[in-house]
Amino acid sequence: MSEKENQRKPGMSRRRFLTYTIASTGGFLASGVLFPMIRFAVDPLLQKGTDTKFVDVGPVDEFGESPKKVEFRIHRKDGWYQKEGGEKATAWVLKEGSKILALSPICKHLGCTVKWEGGGFQDQFYCPCHGGLYTKDGVNVPGTPPNAPLDTYAYKVEGGRLLLGPLETRGGGA
């Protein structure tokens, strides 16, 4: 056995020890910097749905069996974006007994705006773009272009006031 081999100590070499130490220290420091950055970047995506607040649209007694148009502003945050002053929104609201229905005016065919009893159609919502029709509760009429009911706004009643929240899609349709 040579003298050089005799001098070699068992276990890890100094070079390998330094390499591991530097690599693990660098990795630790990098994760401390990168993790908050990644968390900040993807945080809005981790939120469930969009953050839409409920908006007061008036005394609940003002609404009845005939759909009434209300305009309001919703403050919604989509990811990182929130429009200053909120977005303008419209709902057709009707109340039958204790049940309230707040319908979106956006046609489910290609997105035009429906109007209550428009185009001379009694007791129906009418879409002027392609002649779409919906019943009073927003269900699409078979034989017309839309293939799904109008979306509805979530709602709640607080202190005699009607508050509208996020839009919800209804299933079904004719």
Walk across the sheet containing 125-127 and list its strands.
115-116, 125-127, 132-134
CB 38, min distance to ligand FES, A: 42
CB 169, min distance to ligand FES, A: 16
Bridge partners for 19 per DSSP:
none
Which residue of this chain has its Cβ atom nearest to ligand FES in the complex?
Answer: 132
Q: How far is CA 130 from CA 71, 76, 169, in A?
A: 24, 30, 21
Nearer to ligand FES, 95 or 108 (CB): 108
Q: Are 125 and 145 in contact (CB under 8 A)?
A: no
Nearer to ligand FES, 44 or 145 (CB): 145
CB 85, min distance to ligand FES, A: 28
Neighbours of 23 (CB within 10 A): 10
Closest CA to 91 of 79, 77, 101: 101
Residues forming contacts to ligand FES in the complex (CB under 6 A) are 107, 109-112, 127, 129-130, 132, 145-146
Nearer to ligand FES, 50 or 113 (CB): 113
CB 114, min distance to ligand FES, A: 7
Nearer to ligand FES, 11 or 111 (CB): 111
